[in-house]
Amino acid sequence: MKVPTLRVQWELQLPAYTTATAVADPSQICDLGWRLWQHQNLNPLSKGFDPPHQSDTRTIYIANRFPLNGLYTPQKFIDNRIISSKYTVWNFVPKNLFEQFRRVANFYFLIIFLVQLMIDTPTSPITSGLPLFFVITVTAIKQGYEDWLRHISDNEVNAAPVYVVRSGGLVKTRSRNIRVGDIVRVAKDEVFPADLVLLSSDRLDGSCHITTASLDGETNLKTHVAVPETAVLQTVANLDTLIAVIECQQPEADLYRFMGRMIITQQMEEIVRPLGPESLLLRGARLKNTKEIFGVAVYTGMETKMALNYKSKSQKRSAVEKSMNTFLIIYLIILISEAIISTILKYTWQAEEKWDEPWYNQKTEHQRNSSKILKFISDFLAFLVLYNFIIPISLYVTVEMQKFLGSFFIGWDLDLYHEESDQKAHVNTSDLNEELGQVEYVFTDKTGTLTENEMQFRECSINGVKYQEMNGRLVSEGPTPDSLEGNSSYFSSISHLATSSSFRTSPENDTELIKEHDLFFKAVSLCHTVQISSVQTDGIGDGPWQSNFASSQLEYYASSPDEKALVEAAARFGIVFIGNSEETMEVKTLGKLERYKLLHILEFDSDRRRMSVIVQAPSGEKLLFAKGAESSILPQCIGGEIEKTRIHVDEFALKGLRTLCMAYRRFTSKEYEEIDRRLFEARTALQQREEKLADVFQFIEKDLILLGATAVEDKLQDKVRETIEALRMAGIKVWVLTGDKHETAVSVSLSCGHFHRTMNILELINQKSDSECAEKLRQLARRITEDHVIQHGLVVDGTSLSLALREHEKLFMEVCRNCSAVLCCRMAPLQKAKVIRLIKISPEKPITLAVGDGANDVSMIQEAHVGIGIMGKEGRQAARNSDYAIARFKFLSKLLFVHGHFYYIRIATLVQYFFYKNVCFITPQFLYQFYCLFSQQTLYDSVYLTLYNICFTSLPILIYSLLEQHIDPHVLQNKPTLYRDISKNRQLSMKTFLYWTILGFSHAFIFFFGSYFLIGKDTSLLGNGQMFGNWTFGTLVFTVMVITVTAKMALETHFWTWINHLVTWGSILFYFIFSLFYGGILWPFLGSQNMYFVFIELLSSGSAWFAIILMVVTCLFLDIVKKVFDRQLHPTNIEKAQMYSNTVALSDEFIALQPLSRARNQLSKLSLLKQIQVSSAWTPCVVSQKEKQRAHLLEECWNE
């Protein structure tokens, strides 16, 4: 578009320095002072100063042609390397260790390890050091491997070949060598290596087409244009003559925001051109339908917008993790209490002289004279070390492995695979898997989330007459202004308007009616940002008001599905948008080609809620066409059928249609000159550009003449109603947050089952003041209390919500909590996030989940505890910023009811089992001190202390936490009420935690005292009459403990696979084999071997075997009896569902797999590669072909 050439008039006035030395101090020059020196000297680039580094702007010399004098100091810009890695070779060890020891448990064990090194403790430092080393090493390897992959990816990107203009020629170099100011050449289908300002392309108008699919997922072609002065420089030689400077803002992450200006020197005159988002080519975008372009690098490396969007989101913590930290604190208190009790009892016991210094353990002189306080502290630390294993260090690494490995099952689930779009579920954050089972509130967008976001033109209102499309023809509804008297049922197709006798009451009326419709559809065809991939205009729109083949020969691309549907509809009715050519927009009207000069585009923004274009018609007349929401268009209109159109818009909305209003304005030459001047000033402003543009847009978009309104339909997605109903049955409250108008939102809510006909609908809309809003809220609260209706629904609009959240949050929350469903319409993106924030911080602290598909949903997705992105048609920003991404809203039910349920049960059992088995482990050690005068003698060998959590008991619980399915997935999905049983973190309640803890203590007492009484005093248990010694007693306790805690895990397992059998019984077998080898051989590298032949002697005693079996059975028998009685007398809903699941006799293999018949049908439709990938992921669960057939038959029975 043409912008008048202006000589630069600098508002900034500085003292007139006449010599170079006078301005040698940059501190005397403010932000844009260097340009004053240029203005006073004919050569503007001969001297100058850059703004300071802390400035809001940066100055870039194109081709790095700096001033020739020695006074100029270039700004320092970073290179073009992309660094997504976290570590380097040099900082990996210290940085990784620092991050790991910030975790409380790791730091605690480090302190224990250091204490063992510094003082005389009863256990070897290896007992704490080796588990700590194992956990640190495993985590470091995992993080190091992930970072190594990032290094490989970075190196591939940074080493990509690029072509740069240097020294008058085209030089091939690496991407990492691009500097700010370099002119870069990019060819068709190549990716832009940095953020470039477009200088020229192979087209005369300097335009190019790009796709930003890798940035925001939008696959439509976007047009970018160069300024006219550089657009003509299409060769390297011509570009070498360019003398120009770019001033622009400092880097920021917003992909769609860029402000700057280019100062071009031509014939000793400076020309200023504004630069906006349409001039910036983002790194990561791809050049399309253009042979080549030249651009100057303005942001490089980690300052590109793509890199700035790498910023990690705020860390979300699950409720389970918070419970786990609480339990750790409780166990830390237990540990300190045991250490204090042991220390006090030790000194109480030693108060008697015979125990203080027995004849066999005489003290040295140094010990007798040492400080008692220091001795007390030393003993306390020694007991702390002795009992420290009650804190499960391996819990963290096991939880991390469980979350990481468990997240793959979501991606492998065929039920979450959408065949039409070839998209499977993605997990972006595995830390929140269990949170899927705790959701209490679901906040969902409407368009593209509940609906398909596939728009179809249905109806329109033109000059107060309503029309609808039927079989590709536009038909008026009801009597038209010109219809014959009494012909009330007449429907006229305007596709035959030119020949319709009913409209020919007079030639003047006929001409006027055609003009009205012609202008309306021209507004539709010109006011948009639609692109065309290929132009084939022959035969398009040749018939009057119709083009039956327009859509088959033209393919439109648009960032908004609404725009595409409207332009396609206009093409069907004879006003065909052909495309952009240089600075013109071409349309065919009744077969006649017309060219409109595009003067300005007033871009859409969420505050104005409208967009406009200013064009020059073939007649020379300058017109503004505007479209937007009726709330933003109608108040600006002074003419047209405003009231009739308003009624029609409301009728469209009641049908659930999306509406837009169209209007226009004619400018005189004087008015346009004023508008053009003000737009130029606003667009070239470096400070407060957005505010200035908003003021100018408001000035331009007024005194409009209303043309009419359009209505497009957005169909509901498949099974949306069933999904919302299932969520409600699960006890989850569903809120719909949308930007649509009130009537449209309510209609869609009713059709999708969010609201139902029996629900009492309350409204909080059109509130004008705080007092009015407060009074309305009180009325609603009274109505809820007085009305004896089971369910209420609430409708809130954006303005009323702002008032409610300002001073009446508590009252508003009280009303919302008593409503089953809430609909918020006319919502801004930040309002969506604010609503979720309000619910999150309410006294109940509920778990929230947000679902959305567009960029406007990102804020609420990041605010909620769990964010779900729908991979829809509004790009991939929501999916990229979410924790989980799915293709359709209906998949939410399985994600929550099946995967969320399983993940929560698994990790809840994992956490409590870890604490249970560590209580079993350390309590006998504490009890043993009562029998050894609190001498800090350890009960177990140091190797057993070290390997208990690492090897002997780790795998069964890990496999359980990955594969356990305590209920058939079909039952969970078909009975959403089961979801209520795990809500509010019930499985990790204090009651359940205390049960596991008490169970651990009771089992530990049985281990210790059972062993003590069975092989106690004066009992000969060996064939030669010898008695068991200290290490044999400890080994017996340890053996019973390993078998019992492993068998306890087996009791908790409902779903057995060959992997479960292998690790469960294999762990017990491994313990026996290891103990035989460890105690049966004298290992030369061990200084002392207390366990030599101990285990073999233990197993050679029949009494010992009897004791082991008796104690294991006793421990588990009590647990089994409790489970049986609870299940028979007070069964939970989950236990009832388990019994129901057993009655249908489903095989383990059938439960493990998704339904095999459905899986086969899906796999047969996929490509061979996908068949191999999916089948390899699921085949391990299938035992035999016979079992496959059995599962298939069982599925048929289940369906019946």
pLDDT (average), residues 127-140: 79
Q: Given the DSSP bridges, would you call strands 222-225 and 244-249 parallel, antiparallel or unpaired?
A: unpaired
**Residue 1061's pLDDT band (boundaries 50, 70, 90)?**
very high
Residue 233 main-chain phi, psi, to 5 deg? -90, 85
Rg (CA), the chain: 38
pLDDT per residue over 51-108, tens digit each? 334 567 888 988 888 877 656 677 788 889 888 777 888 888 898 888 888 777 778 7
Segment among 85-99, 243-257, 281-295, 1139-1153 with least mean pLDDT: 1139-1153
Distance from the Cα of residue 202 to its chain's centroid = 39
> Distance (Å, rounded) from C-alpha 39 to C-alpha 498?
62
How do residues 1096-1152 score in pLDDT, each as one tens digit? 888 877 788 888 999 999 999 988 888 888 888 877 777 777 776 555 433 333 333
Angle of helix 990-1014 relative to helix 1030-1052, nearest 10 degrees? 140
Residue labelled with tokens 């000793």:
268
608: DSSP letter: T
Distance CA 1056, CA 1064 (A): 10
What band does 1024 get if pLDDT is binned at 50, 70 and 90?
Answer: low
Q: How confident is the model at residue 50 (pLDDT cuts 50, 70, 90)?
A: very low
- Kindly list the strands in the beta sheet with 260-266, ordered across the sheet, starting from the edge strand earlier in the chain: 57-61, 244-249, 260-266, 269-275
Which helix (H) or strand (E) covers residue 411, if one does? helix 408-412
| pLDDT value at residue 956 | 93
| DSSP track, 135-191 | HHHHHHHHHHHHHHHHHHHHHHHHT-EEEEEETTEEEEEEGGG--TT-EEEEETTPB
CB 722 within 8 A of CB 890: yes
Distance from C-alpha of 999 to C-alpha of 1122, rounded to nearest angstrom: 12
Rounded to whole angstroms, the Cα distance separating 68 from 800 reads 61
Q: Which two tokens stand for residue 1022?
A: 């060996």
Sign of the torsion formed by the C-alpha atoms of 1015, 1018, 1019 and 1025: positive
> What 8-state DSSP symbol labels residue 721?
H
pLDDT of residue 708: 93
pLDDT at 200: 92
Q: 476: buried, middle or exposed (CB in 10 Å: 19+, 13-18, 0-12)?
A: buried
- In the prediction, which pLDDT does 709 show? 93
Helix (H, G, I), strand (E, B) or coil at 1146: coil
Is the model's pLDDT at 362 over the cut of 80? no
Report the alpha-carbon distance of residue 304 to residue 253 in Å, rounded.
8
Q: CB neighbours of 231 closer than 8 A, spacing ≥ 6?
A: 199, 200, 201, 204, 205, 206, 225
| Distance (Å) of CA 635 to CA 461, 625, 660, 745, 769 | 18, 16, 14, 21, 20
Given the structure tokens 């629900």, which residue do they identify? 759
Q: What's the confidence (pLDDT) of residue 501?
A: 31
What is the structure's pLDDT at 1171?
Answer: 37
* Better-predicted residue by pLDDT, 48 or 628: 628
Neighbours of 289 (CB within 10 A): 17
Pairing of strands 848-852, 441-444: parallel
Residue 197 and residue 217: Cα distance in Å, rounded? 22
CB 59 within 8 A of CB 51: yes
Distance CA 55, CA 570 (A): 49
Signed CA dihedral, 719, 725, 731, 735: sign only:
positive
Q: Please give the residue that has the higher pLDDT: either 654 or 162.
A: 162
Query: Annotated active-site positions, please?
Result: 445
Residue pair 821/749 in contact (Cβ under 8 Å)? The answer is yes
In terms of DSSP bridges, do strands 637-639 and 222-225 run parallel, antiparallel, or are they unpaired? unpaired
pLDDT band at 496 (very low <50, low <70, confident <90, very high): very low
Residue 578 has pLDDT above 50, yes or no: yes
Virtual torsion, Cα 1114, 1115, 1117, 1120, nearest 10 deg: 180
Per the prediction, the chain carries an average pLDDT of 77
DSSP H or E stretch at residue 508: helix 507-526
Please name the amino acid found at residue 413: D
For 864, the enclosing helix (H) or strand (E) is none
Q: What is the DSSP secondary structure assignment for residue 717, as one 8-state letter? A: P
Name the H helices within 59-125.
92-100, 104-118
The region of weakest confidence among 259-273, 315-329, 944-958 is: 315-329
Q: Tell me which DSSP letter residue 495 carries.
A: G
Residue 511's pLDDT is what? 54
Q: What angle do CA 1137, 1140, 1141 make, to 5 degrees?
A: 85
Q: Between 463 and 739, name the one with better pLDDT.
A: 463
Alpha helices (H) in 273-389, listed in sequence order: 305-308, 319-349, 353-356, 365-369, 372-387
Q: What is the mean pLDDT of residues 37-47?
A: 34
The amino acid that residue 602 corresponds to is L
Q: Which of 237-246, 370-379, 413-422, 676-685 has the lowest mean pLDDT?
A: 370-379
Length of the chain: 1200
